[in-house]
Structure 1
Amino acid sequence: MTDPSRTGSNRARPPDSPLPARDVAPASGGFAVVEMFTSQGCSSCPPAEEVLTEIERDARKQGQPVFALGFHVDYWDDLGWPDRFADGAYTARQQAYARAFGSGHLYTPQMVVNGTVEFVGSDRRRAATAIASALTAVATTPLTLSVEDAAGGTGDGRVVVDYQTARPPERAVLNVAIVERGLESEVARGENAGRTLRQDNVVRAFTSLGLDTGRGRVELEAPADLDPRQASVVGYVQHDGDKAIVGAAAIDVSAEAE
């Protein structure tokens, strides 16, 4: 159950304009997984979230394999505003990147592209350069996804995803996330007090598993208030050691949910 003190006034907003459906699994060309670590309590984060929205929206329109994920960290929660999308697991994910990059510190907004390049998330030019470079690389581990069951929004929050891949590297993990677009939050306290934040690509559920077989099934516990029409599943194969991402795919939940 969601703690009411963490919800503020949150609601879904109607999409600004219809976007093309997403079912993208690059066979051999490049791709870009764009992870951003953010918080509703951080006044520097809303501009970066606008950049993330633009990245995903442009990729859909152009049919590019660019996948955006907004991980809300929880270390801002004690500084005036508890972010209802925050999760300690997402903070732990950012800490793992800090160790891999050798930086030893956390900050928001931080953007990470394909697990190997990091920079301030509001830097549009740096983001465009990193994504363009990623799209010229070769995907070494093809991945396809299919949504077999999607009960988000009906109370039990279950989303079942089948995956198939080939040539996974040793010590590879498969990350699977449910991201939701079209969210609004009225923030009452903290650095963003009085603002209505419009957020897309918010990670609502996430899991990682060791990839020791070429196919399998993943079940995610999505929140009961997930709107399947505004949600996608993003999967990506990642080295457990250096964090390089070697394959990715995404599919909208809506087709199964309808």
Structure 2
Amino acid sequence: MTDPGSNRARLPGSPLPDVASADGGFAVVEMFTSQGCSSCPPAEEVLTEIERDARAQGQPVFALGFHVDYWDDLGWPDRFADAAYTARQEAYARAFGSGRLYTPQMVVNGTVEFVGSDRRRAATAIASALTSATTTPFTLSVQDYAGGAGAGQRVVLGFETERPSERAVLNVAIVERGLESEVARGENAGRTLRQDNVVRAFTSLGLDAERGQVELEAPPDLDPRQATLVGYVQNKGDRAIVAAAAVDLSAVAG
């Protein structure tokens, strides 16, 4: 995982267009999951429903599925798993004081956690988040995109905010919908898993400027027509997420 203290946001040469922003309440819904976990597919269905319903209603709800790697040695290596995502979950465990890792785990706005398949808890946490106005304006835009499905892909995002905290970080993710995997071994052996909102690329930057750029390298097999870029500002101490925005890559990829 990129150390939030090692990479700093770079100042751009021109103002950013206001492409996507969340000025009122919002919900960043992070789920830690694995293809090797038999309890995870129902939770991923919940995450799919959350994103689909929010998109239909125009609500600022941003869903991210982080595939952890600690299931990989138990029969099935998850092709989306990354040790960086396990490290992110470990950081939450320390912040929550539990020291415990489990899947599926859902975290809303960095401060509320519960079992990811619990629809009622998810609905309650999201509804509460949507009624809490943010005090941190934030906008996100795609400034450059190169590549396409089957080729190396590079995305340059611009962001603009106000009064960043000294201990704030900017998280940026590329998430992809409509992915399918045939699982041959492990707890889900013999199943074809359809997964949405899978994190395909992720980085964190120390947020020390009101505007800047961040570059991500997307995997060659990313389908830009099914991809969304999500940016969210998070306190480094209590892990609270104070602003978020997103833009569909399809809007600029053609």
> What TM-score comes out, normalization by structure 1 length?
0.89
Name the SS of the counterpart of 2:127 in structure 1: helix
Structure-2 residue corresponding to 1:255: 251
Pairwise CA distance, 1:174 = 0.2
Relative to structure 1, the CA distance from residue 189 to residue 154 in structure 2 (aligned partners, 3 Å threshold; closer, same or farther) is closer
Structure-2 residue corresponding to 1:173: 169
Structure-2 residue corresponding to 1:127: 122
Structure-2 residue corresponding to 1:188: 184
Structure-2 residue corresponding to 1:99: 94
For 1:137 and 1:255, the matched residues in 2 are separated by: 29
Deviations 1:190-244 (A, max 9, x none): 0000000010000000000000001111110110000000000000000001100
Q: Check the 8 A contact 1:148/1:161 in 2, yes or no.
A: yes
Pairwise CA distance, 1:102 = 0.1
Pairwise CA distance, 1:122 = 0.1
Pairwise CA distance, 1:156 = 1.8
For 2:150 and 2:37, the matched residues in 1 are separated by: 32
Pairwise CA distance, 1:153 = 2.1
Structure-1 residue corresponding to 2:111: 116
Pick aligned residue for 1:203 from 180, 192, 199: 199
Letter of the 2:30 partner, please give it.
Answer: E
CA RMSD of aligned residues (A): 0.9
For 2:219 and 2:75, the matched residues in 1 are separated by: 24
Does 1:214 pair with 2:210? yes
Deviations 1:106-139 (A, max 9, x none): 0000000000000000000000000000001011
Pairwise CA distance, 1:149 = 2.1
Name the SS of the counterpart of 1:81 in structure 2: coil
> What TM-score comes out, normalization by structure 2 length?
0.91
Structure-2 residue corresponding to 1:244: 240
Name the SS of the counterpart of 2:75 in structure 1: coil
Pick aligned residue for 1:35 from 15, 30, 34: 30
For 1:101 and 1:194, the matched residues in 2 are separated by: 36
For 1:132 and 1:194, the matched residues in 2 are separated by: 36
Structure-1 residue corresponding to 2:137: 142
Structure-2 residue corresponding to 1:82: 77
For 1:170 and 1:136, the matched residues in 2 are separated by: 26
Give aligned pairs, total: 235
Name the SS of the counterpart of 2:91 in structure 1: helix
Greater Cα offset, 225-234 or 161-170: 161-170
Q: Check the 8 A contact 1:152/1:222 in 2, yes or no.
A: no
For 1:231 and 1:193, the matched residues in 2 are separated by: 27
Q: Check the 8 A contact 2:20/2:141 in 1, yes or no.
A: no
For 2:148 and 2:27, the matched residues in 1 are separated by: 27
Letter of the 1:107 partner, please give it.
Answer: Y
Pick aligned residue for 1:66 from 45, 53, 61: 61
Letter of the 2:198 partner, please give it.
Answer: V
Deviations 1:12-59 (A, max 9, x none): xxxxxxxxxxx64122x1000000000000000000000000000000
For 1:197 and 1:181, the matched residues in 2 are separated by: 12
Name the SS of the counterpart of 1:206 in structure 2: strand
Q: Percent identity?
A: 83
Structure-2 residue corresponding to 1:51: 46
Structure-2 residue corresponding to 1:11: none
